[in-house]
Amino acid sequence: MTTGIDFGTTNSVVAQWNGDDVEVLALDGEHLEDEWFYPSFEYLFPTIAGESSLRLGTLFGWEAKLRSNRVIEACKRMLGSDGGVQLRDRRISATAVAAGVFQAMRERAASSLTSIDSAVITVPANAKGGARYRTRAAARAAGIAVKTLLNEPTAAALSYMHDIQEEGTIMVFDWGGGTIDVTVLEHKDGVFEERASRGVTQLGGLEIDRRLRELIVRKIGREPELSPEERRQFELAVERTKIRLSTEESVLTRIPGSGRLIEVSRPELEEQIGRLVERALEPARMCLNDLGMDTTGITDILMIGGTSQMPCVRRAVERLMDAPTVPAEICHPMTAVARGAAIAAAIMDGELDSFLQVSSMYALGTTAKRNDDGRRFFSEIIKPRSPLPTREKKNYTPMKDHQSELKIEIWEADPDKPLNDPENFQLTTLHVCYPKPLPRSEASFTLEYTYQQDGLLHVKATLDKTGDVLVDQEISDFTHGLTLTVDQIRREMTALDGGAPRPAPPVSVPAPRPPVSPPAGKRFVVDGSNVAWLGRDARAGDSPSLEQLLGAVAALKEQHPGCEVDVIVDAALAHQVSPEERRELEQCIRTGVVAQVPAGTEGKADRLVVTLAERKDAVIVSNDSFKELQDEFPWFLAPGRMLGVSNVGGEWVFLERRPVRARRPGTGGR
């Protein structure tokens, strides 16, 4: 599947290209509790891990957010330097926690019958080299091949421009959970160029939550006495109050412990955070200033991120820019970035006839020593913001005669800053041996860097005098200092399961592209209740299994690539499966994975299965013979109209079957 992932610091979102359009996945909606069911929240996967005293292993997504005693915000920590996080009695890298988040998203996708094997992943525009490499390594450790890393504002603009199809100068005002980032991009001749980007870290939704908490405590009269558990509940109640105040005029907040209700109105919150909103406008002013541009130079203003949904924020931006912002119905603050990433993936896969220019962010090069003072400096080979793929080379000479070995350091850095600037990033060191020691004059070599669109770097060094190749390799694992190898991350990930080893997911080779439209005849209508009951006996007290049904449907899709499948179940099924599966089934119904026949439908699901199959000219998948319907729909008695379902030793087998003919009155044996 062609996938885009917005790997946000607070929430992640996954979208897929389905051949015609982008679908945002309701990946974790089943774990969303009713009181968190705000518009579009079903698409969010909180980018966090958590521990619960009630559960073994690590929680992710909404479960981590709503049900854990301790929350670990992996991604945010990864963005600085990965100093590691404490998980129960162990310390593991935040990159491994992030890999766990990717893995959890991948597993949730698999249970909604889709797969994430490769993806375009977005990163904040200001993410430094280390964060980029860590994001890539985390995804790879979870078995996701990274097609390319795309900057969030570019992805948002791509999503918007996919619908609007115009050229212009776009301002992306992205105010999320932890930071605010403003970027101005130019969209011309199909190319997006980031022209200016400014941000404020530590100014996000969390800051607003803190101010709202202060306001509520003021109204209570004193700091409430809360247990650790209640403290977490209070934090969540404050965040919910804030979110509701974006659409409601006033909200009652229940204080955990005492159960007191405190009323907060929208004007009160707006007054409380007025200064924060004012500060949030600063990066927008700075971007315009950097470009020597006034507000009229901007053609479109995109409001991205959860915090930008607050009405006072939109108003403040419109006041500053003296222009309307693009409405949320056209560019959705929570999903536009993931949508743009999926569109980018579709373009890269050739599924969408469009053009996408990916550029490097930073300069790539090596270190060299100055002749005069012997000081080390960064020697640039590939310029920052080079369109990818690109290939560049440069010539170097060793410092001493007769060196038998060379150490070539590979760096991503800013050529205008000293080498030891914390934002510069050493990827690795290559150890290179000369075929034989040579005098300096004969030992010069050419270093050639090839930087691919997917962000992989290939390094080749050739001895100038003889043409001997000294090194020729891809830099895929970054073993220096800050970054772990994929194998190291996978080993650390076992700690997430509470110590139980987990099999390493294979890093998949991109699958052959599925056909855009299903080949004629490859349409199936699955009799879901029949498959869920397969091999189970109601009289013996068995229940049907949704897991079994979803497994069979996944196998059917795998055995018939590109096919179209409708799954129909009886209204009764939701009451027959286990309570855990019931939630999952409701989720499948909400997301359209499964269709449920309204209670009271004549002929129950059988009639809908057969009617739909007739209308769609589809093959019915069922072991039932629909005897009552044979007279009415004689077509399904013909060969090739039905597949039977069996599970043999865990393997799903679908074989053509002819339904058993109903006995007609008067034709019986007696």
Token pair for residue 407?
């150490």
CB within 8 Å of 138: residues ≥ 6 apart: 78, 95, 96, 98, 99, 101, 102, 489
Q: Using the rule CB under 6 A, is 61 a contact of ligand ADP?
A: no
**Which of 2, 3, 10, 622 is the binder for ligand ADP (CB under 6 A)?**
10
Which of Mg ion, ligand ADP, none has residue 64 at its interface (CB below 5 to 8 Å by kind)? none
Q: Using the rule CB under 6 A, is 11 a contact of ligand ADP?
A: yes
Smallest gap, in angstroms, from Cβ of residue 238 to ligand ADP?
9
Site string for Mg ion, 131-170 (x = CB under 5 A): ----------------------------------------
Name residues contacting ligand ADP, limited to 286-315 (CB under 6 A).
305-307, 309-310
Smallest gap, in angstroms, from Cβ of residue 131 to ligand ADP?
14
**Which of 129, 176, 204, 365 is the binder for Mg ion (CB under 5 A)?**
176
Long-range CB contacts (< 8 A, 24+ apart) of 406-410?
Answer: 406/431, 406/432, 406/433, 406/434, 406/445, 406/470, 407/431, 407/432, 408/366, 408/432, 408/447, 408/459, 408/461, 408/471, 409/366, 409/367, 410/364, 410/366, 410/457, 410/459, 410/475
Site string for ligand ADP, 63-92 (x = CB under 6 A): ------------------------------
Q: Which of 153, 161, 149 is nearest to 122 (CA)?
A: 149
Quickly list DSSP for 514-560: PPSSPPTT-EEEEEHHHHHTTT--GGGT----HHHHHHHHHHHHHHS
E strand segments, 133-203: 145-151, 168-175, 180-188, 191-200
Q: What angle do CA 354, 121, 68 make, to 5 degrees?
A: 145
What is the number of other CB atoms lying within 10 angstroms of the CB of residue 517?
11
Q: Using the rule CB under 5 A, is 306 a contact of Mg ion?
A: no
Which of Mg ion, ligand ADP, none has residue 306 at its interface (CB below 5 to 8 Å by kind)? ligand ADP
Q: Using the rule CB under 6 A, is 205 a contact of ligand ADP?
A: yes
Q: Using the rule CB under 5 A, is 4 a contact of Mg ion?
A: no
Smallest gap, in angstroms, from Cβ of residue 533 to ligand ADP?
41
Q: Which of 46, 381, 84 is nearest to 205 (CA)?
A: 46
**Pairing assessment for the beta strands 469-475 and 457-463 based on DSSP bridges:** antiparallel
**Which of 61, 178, 505, 528 is the binder for ligand ADP (CB under 6 A)?**
178
Please identify, using beta-carbon distances, which residue of 334 and 443 lies nearer to ligand ADP.
Answer: 334
Which of Mg ion, ligand ADP, none has residue 310 at its interface (CB below 5 to 8 Å by kind)? ligand ADP
The angle that helices 152-164 and 336-348 make with each other, rounded to 10 degrees, is: 80
Smallest gap, in angstroms, from Cβ of residue 8 to Mg ion?
4
What is the number of other CB atoms lying within 10 angstroms of the CB of residue 375?
10
**Which of 129, 153, 176, 544 is the binder for ligand ADP (CB under 6 A)?**
176
Please identify, using beta-carbon distances, which residue of 101 and 489 lies nearer to Mg ion.
Answer: 101
Q: Using the rule CB under 6 A, is 9 a contact of ligand ADP?
A: yes
3-state secondary structure of 340: helix
**Which of 2, 4, 8, 608 is the binder for Mg ion (CB under 5 A)?**
8
Which of Mg ion, ligand ADP, none has residue 605 at its interface (CB below 5 to 8 Å by kind)? none
Q: CA-CA distance, 366 to 381, in Å (whole number)?
A: 8
Contact 125, 194 (CB under 8 A): yes
Please identify, using beta-carbon distances, which residue of 308 and 622 lies nearer to ligand ADP.
Answer: 308
Which of Mg ion, ligand ADP, none has residue 336 at its interface (CB below 5 to 8 Å by kind)? none
Contact 484, 91 (CB under 8 A): no
3-state secondary structure of 304: strand
Which of the 8 DSSP states describes residue 33? -
Name residues contacting ligand ADP, limited to 331-350 (CB under 6 A).
334
Please identify, using beta-carbon distances, which residue of 65 and 266 lies nearer to Mg ion.
Answer: 65
Q: CA-CA distance, 647 to 649, in Å (whole number)?
A: 6
Smallest gap, in angstroms, from Cβ of residue 410 to Mg ion?
30
Site string for Mg ion, 68-107 (x = CB under 5 A): ----------------------------------------
Which of Mg ion, ligand ADP, none has residue 424 at its interface (CB below 5 to 8 Å by kind)? none
Q: Using the rule CB under 6 A, is 4 a contact of ligand ADP?
A: no
Give the number of residues in contact with Mg ion, rule: CB under 5 A.
Answer: 2
Token pair for residue 659?
């339904």
Residue ranges in contact with Mg ion by CB under 5 A: 8, 176
Catalog residues that contact ligand ADP under the rule CB under 6 A.
8-11, 176-178, 205-206, 239, 242-243, 246, 305-307, 309-310, 334
